[in-house]
Amino acid sequence: IRDEESGYNKNLFCIPKHYEEDLETVFIPRGLILDRTERLARDIMQDMGSHHIVALCVLKGGYKFFADLLDHIKALNQNGDKSVPITVDFVRIKSYC
């Protein structure tokens, strides 16, 4: 996102009431994030070929993104020409430093 980007008016979105006063604008709509997540899943499936995929989620902040990404990968796996084995695991990190 460029510095001069003004984003989208928050009135275009359904914002939970408890966040209304805290938000001025929306920079990246959820639909765009989901679209990019699906694209990432397609890239992963293409890059991995028929290799086993080991998916590791860093808790707690990454869970929703991780779940969405895995949903797209599973859909591609079910609807594709080949089925790739996937192992899922989680790790909790005390500090990022």
Q: Tell me the CA distances in angstroms from 67 to 32, 59, 71, 75, 83, one per residue in order.
A: 16, 11, 6, 12, 19
Q: Give how far Cα 1 sits from Cα of 5, 6, 11, 28, Å.
A: 7, 10, 20, 9
pLDDT at 1: 61
Positive or negative, the Cα torsion across 17, 19, 38, 31? positive
pLDDT of residue 84: 87
Domains recognised in the chain with CATH numbers: 8-92 (3.40.50.2020)
pTM: 0.72
The CA–CA distances, whole Å, from 28 to 9, 16, 36, 95 equal 11, 16, 11, 27
**Residue that the structure tokens 């989620």 belong to:** 57
- Listed in order, strand segments (DSSP E) in 21-97 are 25-26, 53-59, 86-92
15-19, 59-63, 75-79, 93-97: which has the minimum mean pLDDT? 93-97
Contact call for residues 26 and 10 (beta carbons, < 8 A): yes
pLDDT digits (tens, 9 = 90+) for 35-84: 999 999 999 999 988 899 999 998 877 888 999 999 999 999 888 777 88
Identify the pLDDT of residue 94.
77
